[in-house]
């Protein structure tokens, strides 16, 4: 018994302390919630009465004022309403308050002096305005009244808060009672369990559960008959069997649905890929890596997951087939965590596939990535009126790095039979041909994530033939939209000697056929329950919190999320906002636009200058319109996490995507996916690929500043039912055409391609 008490007594004390602390927390939370609710209701009621009272003051209708306060002064917990003039004289008062509030309370004085709404709680002892017999705790909220822009008085709402103390008292009583009951129950149960059946049955059950966890749900019981743990063992046995059955059923259902148009998930993609690959090895190659390692302060190393739709789409594929991802090692601690062969198993918490890193020097990165890729191909393909720069030395680095990536890919594929390769983006245009020449048995797909311009524009590139020939080494080339596929085939027609088969969108060059298809990339779509009225209130509270964090006062927010890149139309967006405030001055001091701008490629002179241009333009417009507590544009030029951006998406009345030219632009789809409340408006450039799918957005020409300004006004004035209808349709589109469907269709088309090997290659790769 003494041993049992030694074990149970600390438990009793701990439970009692925790229960009491929780009771105290409940009481404090209940009081805070009730007070906040009362303050908010008082503020809303005062603001709803403000316009009516100010109109009556303008007309000098004091009798109308008295009727107004008598009509609204009988609400729940509302003790009365008083209207004071600027000197503190009573103009109208609820009869129940006379003569207690003939003297203006301090909250009304502060509201008049500071020209803002002010509220305060008064305890019964401090309620000096009432007779001692009538003293109750009060909440006084005062709102200034205006005439011609001047403060001419104040509107005061007086609430009886005694109900809060009563409700808090009930909560305290219930909490203490619950704490006592819980302590007694837990103590009694603990005594029984520790005294009679504890150590032996628990150990045997733990051993048995370990066998279930390792995949043996039907292993025999280790518990003797009649023990208290027997029932638990019995239920867990059935649970393990049910889970096993459910898992098998889910996999079978996914297989059956594989060929039908239904919702794609990460799990369905994983099962589909496993079935289609049939044990064939999968390789992904890209400039960007799915995991980066950086030094965190001293010697500790932190793992970072770069924000990327490609990572979201392709990681479930690699997880399903134990694949290999080859990428540029860009983190400053990347070399510290790889093995002797530059490999690393990822993800960190559950290693399931291999990350192979390729190393570049600063000089190589400058020529291959900054130079040819981002000063040459990027502006060329985006047609954004920035002259592309093509330097022979950058082209040499581009060729060199493409060959290095190819060498690593071939090294990883060395022991693989009929491998499958997914190459990503414009950084590696030469790689498909290089790999195909060495491994003709490989199935190769490459996805071009940026636009492909018309043949005249692409002809500017001095090495267009080499780039196109490199891409045609792939068996499948993917673009975001059909027009990019058309432009590519037209470019092939003009640049190379090849047979372009327009009827099936393919190119036959020297006996090798390359298919060209549109695969609109998307985002993952979180499946959450339908939003409730509470979510709308939360959106308002979130907007208020964000405004407070940014140091502004605004009841409406708009948001833009971009890398600071000259193709995103940020300057055009700012000029449209300036025009909007000129046309609709009533939105000044009410609406602010938040531009989240992540600095990008700042080692390139054009990008560095553009960041300065954007900052200067925001400052110029703010200088013109801003007040001490408000400014039209909040430019947040730093990197934000996905969680931070999501808060702005959910709080904003609209999101602006004004790309001058864009392959897809996933910001548009991220905004739609985040709006579980089915509210908000998307303003979308017709030059973004997303405009082909999201036709319920307000589609605009970003070069037309006046049209953009009108679109902003329409977004802010759009009725809720129209917002809901449009957002529901866009959310359905994004949900059905999510990023997992993109990956599934791309891989499905690739695996169905038949590879016809030349006789020499067949002999070389025969077992």
pTM of the model: 0.66
Q: What are phi and psi of 18, to 5 degrees?
A: -60, -40
DSSP 479: E
Q: What digits encode the pLDDT tens for the residues 476-506?
A: 999 999 999 999 999 999 999 999 999 999 9
Give the whole-angstrom CA distance, residue 192 versus residue 224: 19
Question: What pLDDT does residue 256 have?
Answer: 47
Asked if residues 600 and 729 have their Cβ atoms less than 8 Å apart, the reply is no
Among 646, 647, 617, 649, CA closest to 633: 617
Question: What pLDDT does residue 196 have?
Answer: 62
Give the whole-angstrom CA distance, residue 700 versus residue 572: 12
Question: What pLDDT does residue 340 have?
Answer: 94
DSSP 361: -
Question: What pLDDT does residue 555 have?
Answer: 94
Question: What pLDDT does residue 305 have?
Answer: 82
- What is the helix (H) or strand (E) element at residue 156, kind and residue range? strand 150-160
Question: What pLDDT does residue 128 have?
Answer: 47
**By CB neighbour count within 10 A (0-12 exposed, 13-18 middle, 19+ buried), where does 297 fall?**
exposed
To the nearest whole number, what is the mean pLDDT of the chain?
A: 85
2-166 has which CATH code?
3.30.450.20
**By CB neighbour count within 10 A (0-12 exposed, 13-18 middle, 19+ buried), where does 124 fall?**
middle
Question: What pLDDT does residue 198 have?
Answer: 57
The reply to whether 533-737 shares the fold of 276-360+402-518 is: yes
What would the two tokens of residue 211 be? 């066998």
**By CB neighbour count within 10 A (0-12 exposed, 13-18 middle, 19+ buried), where does 547 fall?**
buried
Asked if residues 668 and 688 have their Cβ atoms less than 8 Å apart, the reply is yes
**Cα separations (Å) of 9 from 13, 186, 274?**
6, 11, 55
Question: What pLDDT does residue 98 have?
Answer: 63
> What percentage of the chain has pLDDT greater than the value 90?
50
CATH 3.20.20.80 fits 276-360+402-518, yes or no: no
Question: What pLDDT does residue 760 have?
Answer: 46
Domain at 533-737: CATH architecture: 3-Layer(aba) Sandwich (3.40)
**Cα separations (Å) of 34 from 99, 257, 642?**
29, 50, 33
Residues of the chain with pLDDT under 50: 128-129, 217-218, 220-224, 227, 245, 249, 252, 256, 259, 261, 533, 760-767
Among 359, 323, 330, CA closest to 342: 359
- SS3 readout for 70-99: HHHCCCCCEEEEEEEECCCCEEEECHHHCC
- Domain residues of the chain, as ranges? 2-166, 276-360+402-518, 533-737
């Amino acid at each position: 018994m003494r041993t049992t008490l030694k074990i149970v007594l600390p438990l009793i004390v701990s439970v009692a302390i925790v229960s009491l602390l929780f009771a105290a927390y409940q009481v404090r939370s209940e009081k805070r919630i009730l007070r906040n609710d009362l303050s908010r209701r008082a503020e809303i009621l005062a603001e709803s009465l403000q316009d009516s009272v100010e109109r009556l003051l303008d007309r000098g209708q004091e009798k109308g004022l008295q009727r107004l306060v008598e009509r609204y002064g009988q609400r729940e917990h509302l003790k009365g309403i008083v209207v004071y003039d600027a000197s503190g004289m009573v103009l109208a008062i609820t009869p129940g308050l006379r003569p207690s509030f003939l003297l203006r309370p301090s909250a009304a004085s502060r509201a008049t002096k500071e020209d803002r709404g002010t509220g305060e709680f008064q305890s019964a002892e401090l309620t000096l305005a009432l007779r001692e017999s009538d003293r109750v705790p009060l909440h006084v909220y005062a709102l200034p009244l205006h005439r011609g822009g001047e403060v001419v008085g104040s509107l005061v709402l007086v609430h009886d808060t005694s109900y809060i103390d009563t409700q808090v008292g009930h909560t305290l009583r219930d909490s203490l009672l619950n704490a006592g009951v819980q302590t007694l129950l837990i103590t009694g149960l603990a005594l029984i369990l520790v005294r009679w059946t504890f150590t032996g049955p628990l150990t045997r059950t733990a051993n048995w559960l370990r066998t279930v966890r390792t995949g043996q749900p039907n292993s025999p019981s280790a518990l003797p008959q009649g023990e208290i743990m027997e029932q638990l063992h019995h239920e867990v046995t059935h649970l393990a069997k049910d889970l096993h059955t459910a898992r098998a059923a889910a996999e079978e259902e996914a297989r059956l649905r594989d060929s039908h148009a239904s919702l794609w998930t990460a799990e369905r993609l994983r099962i589909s890929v496993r079935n289609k690959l049939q044990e064939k090895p999968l390789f992904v190659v890209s400039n960007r890596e799915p995991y980066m390692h950086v030094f965190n302060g001293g010697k500790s190393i932190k793992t970072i997951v770069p924000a990327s739709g490609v990572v979201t789409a392709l990681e479930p594929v690699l997880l399903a087939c134990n694949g290999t991802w080859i990428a540029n090692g860009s983190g400053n601690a990347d070399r510290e965590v790889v093995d002797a062969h530059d490999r690393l198993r990822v993800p960190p918490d559950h290693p399931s596939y291999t990350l192979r890193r390729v190393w570049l020097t600063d000089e190589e990165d400058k020529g291959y990535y900054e130079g040819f890729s981002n000063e040459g191909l990027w502006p060329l393909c985006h047609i954004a009126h920035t002259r592309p720069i093509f330097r022979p030395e950058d082209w040499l680095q581009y060729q060199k790095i493409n060959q290095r990536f190819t060498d690593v890919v071939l090294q990883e594929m060395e022991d693989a039979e009929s491998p499958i390769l997914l190459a990503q983006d414009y950084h590696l245009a030469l790689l498909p041909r290089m790999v195909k020449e060495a491994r003709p048995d490989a199935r190769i797909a490459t996805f071009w994530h940026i636009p492909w311009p018309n043949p005249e524009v692409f002809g500017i590139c001095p090495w267009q033939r080499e780039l196109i020939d490199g891409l045609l080494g792939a068996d499948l080339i993917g673009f975001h939209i059909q027009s990019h596929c058309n432009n590519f085939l037209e470019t092939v027609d003009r640049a190379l000697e090849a047979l372009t088969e327009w009827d099936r969108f393919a190119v036959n060059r020297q006996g090798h056929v390359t298919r060209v298809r549109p695969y609109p990339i998307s985002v993952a779509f979180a499946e959450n329950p339908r939003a409730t009225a509470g979510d709308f209130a939360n959106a308002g509270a979130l907007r208020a919190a964000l405004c407070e964090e940014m140091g502004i006062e605004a009841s409406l927010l708009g948001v833009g999320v971009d890398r600071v890149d000259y193709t995103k139309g940020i300057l055009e967006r700012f000029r449209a906002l300036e025009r909007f405030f000129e046309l609709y001055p009533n939105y000044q001091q009410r609406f602010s636009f938040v531009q989240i701008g992540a600095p990008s490629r700042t080692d390139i002179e054009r990008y560095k200058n553009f960041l300065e241009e954007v900052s200067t333009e925001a400052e110029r417009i703010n200088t013109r319109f801003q007040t001490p507590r408000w400014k039209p544009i909040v430019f947040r030029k730093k990197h934000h996490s996905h969680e931070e951006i999501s808060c702005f998406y959910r709080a904003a009345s609209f999101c602006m995507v004004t790309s001058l030219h864009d392959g897809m632009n996933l910001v548009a789809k991220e905004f739609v996916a985040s709006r579980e409340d089915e509210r908000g408006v998307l303003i979308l450039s017709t030059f973004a690929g997303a405009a082909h799918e999201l036709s319920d957005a307000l589609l605009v020409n970003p070069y037309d500043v006046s049209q953009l300004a009108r679109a902003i006004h329409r977004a802010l004035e759009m009725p809720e039912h129209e917002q809901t209808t449009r957002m529901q349709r866009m959310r359905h589109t994004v949900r059905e055409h999510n990023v997992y469907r993109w990956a599934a269709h791309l891989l499905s088309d690739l695996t169905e391609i038949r590879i016809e090997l030349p006789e020499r290659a067949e002999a070389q790769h025969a077992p």
